[in-house]
């Protein structure tokens, strides 16, 4: 009995010991931590809580990631300080949000002060939206470089597509695409949609204008399509106005903006195309050293020159002023203004002075 009594007390103590519960709880958390921290896992797996990943595992994953336009050396040789999924980055000025950036995944490199972003969507204060497959956010320069299937949607109704775009946020929002990059765009909030191609683009928050920088081709759709070729184009969204100019470094003989439609050739040093929301293209204004030729005639040729030409597309009529001259075959008409209707071939002249049997201007 003396031997069994201590054993009985020992069993009773083990059943009621308060340390046993703590031991079981400790074992439970040990196994949970072992599964979460030591088991291999893909960074692409969805998770709802915080997960600790060893830097070597993270760096190995980044090196095995497919090459992308943003694969600069430090992105593959240095593990990020932080990695987050479905994040939101804000830029504020005076407590007021100026810029919001949504990201499916963000790797922050604290030493370089750069965030590498996947599947980015940026929203500017003026309503502009920019999406891309990747982005590099330089926190020091306040600059975001968008790469891969970049789409820029402007509040004025223009959509621009490119493979690269750079957004500078200081001193004001400024979006630029280098002239080495092809730009494709459209402005669809018009009765006659405008399609454009160029090399390079700039957009400023100050005036909301879109500037096409080089090798510009603009096509205005509608019952009578018009195509304009130039070196540069300024899209004034507030006025639905396109301003075309040429590079002054070109030789003088090639400094001409050219506009064509079926049967019509028009060129000048500068050109403006006036559009209106809900309506077709209204008129094309050619400025300085204007020349036009009506190509639709089979039995005769009509050409005209002047300092200014206003082509009313819907009326199929062109008005020349500033020392205008109209040439039909070997006949020449001059005056203060000359209006030529392409449908009826009617010519209206103010202060007319007709001259016959003269040579027309050189071919275009």
pLDDT of res. 7: 38
Whole-angstrom Cα distance, residue 79 to residue 232? 44
pLDDT, tens digit, 9 for 90 and up, residues 183-230: 999 987 766 788 999 999 999 888 889 999 999 999 988 777 899 999
Domain 53-153 in this protein, CATH class: mainly beta
- What backbone torsions phi and psi does residue 188 show, to the nearest 5 degrees? -110, 0
Q: How high is the mean pLDDT of the chain? A: 80
How would residue 253 be classed by pLDDT, with cut points 50, 70 and 90? very high
User: What average pLDDT score do residues 142-146 get?
Assistant: 93
**pLDDT (mean) for 230-241:** 91
pLDDT of residue 25: 59
Centroid of chain to Cα 193 = 17
3-state secondary structure of 149: strand
pLDDT of residue 90: 79
Select the more confidently predicted residue: 110 or 339.
339
Mean pLDDT, range 296-323, rounded to an integer: 88
**Statement: residue 30 has pLDDT above 60:** no
pLDDT given for residue 39 in this prediction: 47
pLDDT tens digits, 257-293: 999 988 889 999 999 998 866 566 778 999 999 999 9
Per-residue pLDDT, averaged over 166-190, amounts to 90
**In percent, how much of the chain has pLDDT > 70?**
71
Which tens digits make up the pLDDT trace of 341-364? 988 888 899 876 655 555 656 656
159 with 188: CB under 8 angstroms?
Answer: yes
pLDDT value at residue 45: 46
Q: Three-state SS for 186?
A: strand
Please tell me the distance from the alpha carbon of residue 111 to that of residue 74, in angstroms, as a whole number. 10
The secondary structure of residue 127, as a DSSP letter, is S
Task: Give domain limits for the chain.
Answer: 53-153
Residue 38, number of CB atoms within 10 A of its CB: 9
Sequence-distant (≥ 6) Cβ neighbours of residue 83 within 8 angstroms:
43, 53, 58, 105, 106, 107, 108
Name the more confident of 105 and 93.
105
Higher pLDDT, 49 or 315: 315
> 36 pLDDT band (50/70/90 cuts)?
very low
Q: Which residue has the higher pLDDT, 18 or 9?
A: 18
Confidence check: pLDDT of 43 > 60: no
Instruction: Say if residues 247 and 255 touch (Cβ distance below 8 Å).
Output: yes
Tell me the H-state helices in the chain: 4-16, 19-33, 55-64, 73-77
pLDDT score of 179 more than 60: yes
Q: Which residue has the higher pLDDT, 59 or 307?
A: 307
pLDDT bracket for residue 4 (50, 70, 90): very low
Per-residue buried b or exposed e for 123-158, using 16+ beta carbons within 10 Å of the residue's own CB = ebeeebebbbbbbbbebeeebbbbbbebbbebebbb
Share in percent of the chain as helix, strand, coil (round to 5): 15, 50, 35
pLDDT of residue 72: 58
- Is residue 160 pLDDT above 90, yes or no? yes
Is residue 118 within 8 Å of residue 62, measured between CB atoms?
Answer: no
């Amino acid at each position: 009995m003396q031997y069994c009594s201590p054993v009985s007390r020992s069993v009773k103590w083990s059943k009621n010991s308060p340390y046993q519960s703590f031991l079981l709880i400790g074992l439970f958390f040990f196994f949970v931590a072992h599964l979460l921290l030591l088991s291999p896992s893909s960074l692409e797996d969805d998770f709802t809580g915080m997960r600790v990943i060893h830097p070597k595992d993270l760096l190995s994953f980044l090196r095995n990631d497919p090459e992308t336009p943003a694969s600069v050396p430090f992105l593959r040789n240095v593990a990020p300080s932080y990695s987050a999924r479905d994040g939101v980055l804000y830029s504020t000025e005076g407590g007021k949000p100026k810029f919001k950036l949504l990201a499916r995944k963000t790797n922050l490199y604290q030493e370089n002060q750069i965030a590498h972003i996947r599947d980015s969507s940026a929203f500017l204060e003026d309503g502009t939206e920019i999406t891309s497959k990747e982005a590099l956010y330089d926190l020091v320069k306040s600059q975001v470089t968008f790469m891969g299937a970049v789409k820029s949607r402007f509040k004025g109704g223009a959509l621009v597509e490119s493979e690269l775009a750079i957004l500078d946020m200081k001193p004001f929002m400024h979006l630029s695409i280098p002239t080495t990059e092809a730009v494709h765009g459209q402005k669809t909030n018009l009765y006659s949609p405008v399609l454009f191609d160029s090399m390079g683009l700039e957009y400023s928050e100050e005036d909301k204008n879109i500037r096409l920088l080089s090798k510009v081709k603009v096509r205005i759709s509608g019952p009578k399509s018009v195509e304009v070729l130039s070196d540069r184009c300024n899209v004034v969204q507030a006025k639905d106005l396109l301003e075309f100019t040429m590079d002054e470094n070109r030789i003088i003989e090639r400094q001409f903006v050219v506009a064509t439609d079926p049967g019509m050739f028009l060129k000048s040093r500068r050109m403006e195309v006036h559009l209106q929301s809900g309506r077709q293209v209204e008129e094309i204004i050619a400025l300085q050293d204007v020349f036009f030729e009506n190509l639709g005639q089979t039995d005769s040729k009509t050409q005209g020159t002047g300092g200014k030409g206003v082509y009313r597309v819907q009326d199929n009529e062109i008005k020349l002023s500033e020392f205008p001259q109209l040439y039909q075959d070997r006949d020449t008409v001059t005056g203060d203004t000359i209006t030529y209707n392409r449908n009826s071939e009617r010519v209206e002249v103010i202060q007319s002075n007709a001259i016959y049997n003269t040579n027309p201007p050189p071919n275009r």
